[in-house]
Amino acid sequence: MSDSRIIVALDFSSERQALDLVVMLDPALCRVKVGKELFTAAGPQLIAKLMALGFEVFLDLKFHDIPSTVANACKVAAGMGVWMMNVHALGGRRMLSAAREAVPAGSAKLIAVTLLTSMERSDLSDIGLEQDPKEVVARLAWLARDCGLDGVVCSALEAQSLRKTMGAGFCLVTPGIRPANAALNEQKRVTTPREAIENGADYLVIGRPITQAEDPISMLRRLNDETRGIGHKTGTRK
């Protein structure tokens, strides 16, 4: 089991691309994330292959459906042996509670997506939510915790306030991380690994800085060095 904070996002369109990358990594230095694109292309068989290589898998499918359907999907994911999975908090209390019942606490980690990081206030207004995105995120995070989930996915910019309100035992997983001095590509609001952890993040989802690096394992070691031993400003390292 890895004690690294880093989850490598395998944002590929084929199993071959994903496996070509992970054989260059070390499961002691990271976990891996499989999202909708790769899972649609490669299916559960890829999850088994990644686990056989020693990697703990975060299955990022954001289940969002009627409670019984989500519960059954979560049960199947847990049976595959994934380390972490997520659901969408906008599915509501009954759906979140059904997911928690399907995945007993202490087995696979069960976290919730609050708002997609692409959503702005105008997007919320379009669907009838007349609140600031930060207020919606906070409300959905409280709902996830109240339903017994282990944590939420949030931006590093939201992590600090959520850590203060949710406490040390609530897991915060943050995407949008770029190493210090790395190219930003199209990203405008980014956070370094150190900043994200100091703000309260437990795990960092990092894609292209690792997957498109000339030497992925060297970049992974560098990122682990940058994050090792850092505590939250609002508390100590878990």
Give me the active site residues, please: 62
Identify the CA nearest to 154 among candidates 193, 194, 97, 116. 116
Q: How many CA atoms lie within 13 A of 77 on its CB side?
A: 32
Assign 122 to helix, strand or coil.
helix
Rounded distance between C-alpha atoms, residue 70 and residue 166, angstroms: 25
Rounded distance between C-alpha atoms, residue 102 and residue 4, angstroms: 27
What one-character DSSP code corresponds to residue 232? -
What's the distance, CA 13 to chain centroid? 19
Cβ atoms of residues 133 and 115 within 8 Å: yes
Rounded distance between C-alpha atoms, residue 190 and residue 177, angstroms: 6
